[in-house]
Structure 1
Amino acid sequence: MRITIAALFAAVLVGCGQKHDDHAAKGEKPPDAAGGHAHGGGEHAGHKAALTVLDLQTRDGLKAGTAAKLRFTVPDAGGKPVTAFAVAHDAKVHFILIRQGLDTFAHLHPEVDPATGELSAEYTFPKGGVYHLFADYQEPGGMPMTATARVEVGGDAPPAAGLKADVPGLLAGEMVAARVSVGGAKAGSEAKVRFEVLDGDKPATDLEAYMGAMGHLVVVSADGKQYVHAHPDEKSEAKNVVTFGAAFPSPGVYKGWGQFKRGGQVRVVPFVVRVP
């Protein structure tokens, strides 16, 4: 099966650190969406959206519970597949998969065929339904970009639970907990997303670098149209505190996933915030 989907490349101001290069994206049709890729610092920079097409190929229909190898390419300005990718945070491409309803999240790093530009990643979708796909990448000497698409997965597709704001608060993640707060959340302004990672009731002081940073943050709006992928501030107030800067383009409900590495394992702490 071959699916050709329109994708949007863009950038907005997100993140805090040295310089923030941001992206925005949506699925099959160009949305009025925005998102970001943040890289520590104080100066912010963005670029205008550019329309392109993401070509996703699968040999068989995608089905929940069945391992699939996703294959896709990203076209350059001339319409040919990009074959050269710059390494950003220890990977050439960061591939994010989120089910509609925002109850399923995955962060993969596809293999790249340098001859054809084909990207491939193996994944078993845990549930059926529509998934938003986001591929963050950068051509050598170019700006960070996000290619995005949507794909439907067969199989049992239970409805996702409704989203309810839970920050500030003590939140449980995958074998980890964190006190999470979002300071200054306002549409069009940069907010501070702060994680105080805990080991039981004590500070988790053994955080390890994950893909070149002490954490990763992905935030998506409830409708899947707004997307942010940020990396943390370089300076931290404590060993177990990781802070990100993120700009929410419009009011509404957003869900975020903070990723942290402990004991060689990546742990995820989700949260939900309502932005006025």
Structure 2
Amino acid sequence: MRTSPLSRRALALAGAALLTTVLAACGSAGTEHDMAGMPHGTTAAGSPSATDGHAMPGMDHEAPGAEGSGVPADNRAGYRLTATIAALPAGQQSDYRFTITGPDGKPVTEFAVEQTKQMHFYAIRSDLTGFQHLHPTMAADGTWGAQLAALTPGSWRTYASFTPNSGDGKGTALMLSRTVNVDGKADPAPLPPASTTTQVDGYTVTLHSTPMANMAHPMTVTVTMDGKPVTDLQPYLDTYAHLTAFHEGDMAFAHLHPETEAKNGGQGGPDLAFHAEFPQPGNWRLFLQFQTAGQLHTAAVTLKVG
């Protein structure tokens, strides 16, 4: 059956209108899907889509282990943390030696500088006490040595935060972890209740944030003394404060990256801005390190993440 020119024109207009409606519906559905599944600044290191594993240089929001959980482990993306000893003595300084091996099984000897250091090393007891943050030195063969201060008896976990500067993982920020036992009878301490404030060495540290798991949040930390703003914070690791967090129970790790770079010879405070992202809900123990008059202070506070 033949159709008239007028009929053909009407059919064409109707088809165009239908196509516009379908495309609009698809575009709307795609936008909702992208927002719902939008990554909040991180990609799991070692995943097919990972490039540097993080949205900002030096930021490490995920420790190895279960993807996206932050649960620590001694290997990820082909890299492995090995240590020469599994137990340490209590009450005395210890030389903890370890090596990072790459996907080829050989020790890694080239590392990128992150916040002025090639390696950031942490030790914390299973009850989230006894925090230590060190910057070990590396021998020519790739063996690192961390001088740990006296440890109390119990189960501890060590963390090595680094970015390879060669090989398959070049530019990928990684966090590897191992447990180490300290001789003696452990006396676990209860986790302090969640709070927005804590005190250290006469300073009051206040958190301004209500974070949710797996979502990027700005976090501001304010430092005061006797109710007055503290403005003489000295540069520490290229910023005015360093902030790390550990999850109660599985000891997952989150590195909360500072947003403000320290100026040469300048002083900072009282407000410190951080980019915060926690891979799990629950209680996190935060450790804020800042420096005044040449003295390093470490403030600890428990934060509830929804």
Please give the range of the TM-score, normalised by the shorter of the 2 chains: 0.7 to 0.9
User: In the alignment, what sits opposite 1:43?
Assistant: none
Q: 1:155, 1:10 → 2: CA distance?
A: 38
The equivalent of 1:254 in structure 2 is 284
CA shift, 1:19, in A, is 5.1
Give unpaired runs (5+ residues) of structure 2.
Answer: 1-43, 263-267
Q: Equivalent of 1:198, from 221, 224, 227? A: 224
Find the aligned partners of 1:10 and 1:131 in 2 and give their Cα distance.
Answer: 26
| 1:147 alignment counterpart | 176
Partner of residue 135, structure 2: 109
Give the number of the structure whose residues are more often helix, by fraction: 2
Q: Following superposition of structure 1 onto structure 2, how do residues 1-276 of structure 1 map, counting pairs within 5 Å?
A: 21-25=59-63, 30-32=65-67, 33-34=69-70, 50-58=77-85, 61-113=87-139, 115-140=140-165, 141-167=170-196, 169=197, 171-183=198-210, 185-234=211-260, 239-276=269-306
Give 1:95 deviation, angstroms: 0.3
Letter paired with 1:56 = A
Describe the shift of the 1:86–1:164 C-alpha distance in structure 2 as closer, same or farther (beyond 3 A): same
SS in 1 for 2:88: coil
Distance 1:109 1:135 in 2: 10
Inter-partner Cα distance in structure 2 for 1:152 and 1:65: 13
1:23 Cα offset (Å): 4.7
Q: Shift of the alpha carbon at 1:106?
A: 0.6
Q: 1:186–1:275: 8 Å Cα contact kept in structure 2? A: yes
| Contact 1:35-1:229 within 8 A present in 2 as well | no
Distance 1:234 1:209 in 2: 11
State the 1:147 CA deviation. Answer: 1.4
Report the TM-score when normalising by structure 1.
0.79
How much has 1:77 moved relative to structure 2? 1.8
From the superposition, tell whether residues 50 and 175 of structure 1 become closer, same or farther in structure 2 (CA, over 3 Å).
farther
Pairwise CA distance, 1:235: 7.7
Give the paired residue count: 245
- Cα deviation digits, residues 193-249 of structure 1 (max 9, x gap): 32111122211110011011111110111023421123311289x731112111111
**Are residues 19 and 53 of structure 1, via their aligned partners in 2, closer, same or farther at CA, if it must alter by over 3 Å?**
closer
Q: Distance in 2 between matches of 1:174 and 1:71?
A: 32
- State the distance in 1 between where 2:120 and 2:271 align: 24
Q: Whose Rg is larger?
A: 2
The one-letter code of the counterpart of 1:142 is G
Q: Cα distance, 1:100 vs. partner? A: 0.4
Q: CA deviation at 1:24?
A: 2.5
More strand by proportion, 1 or 2? 1
1:63-87 deviation per Cα after TM superposition (whole angstroms, max 9, x unaligned): 2202210000011121111111122
Percent sequence identity is 27
TM-score (norm 2): 0.72
Deviation at 1:151, TM superposition (A): 1.0
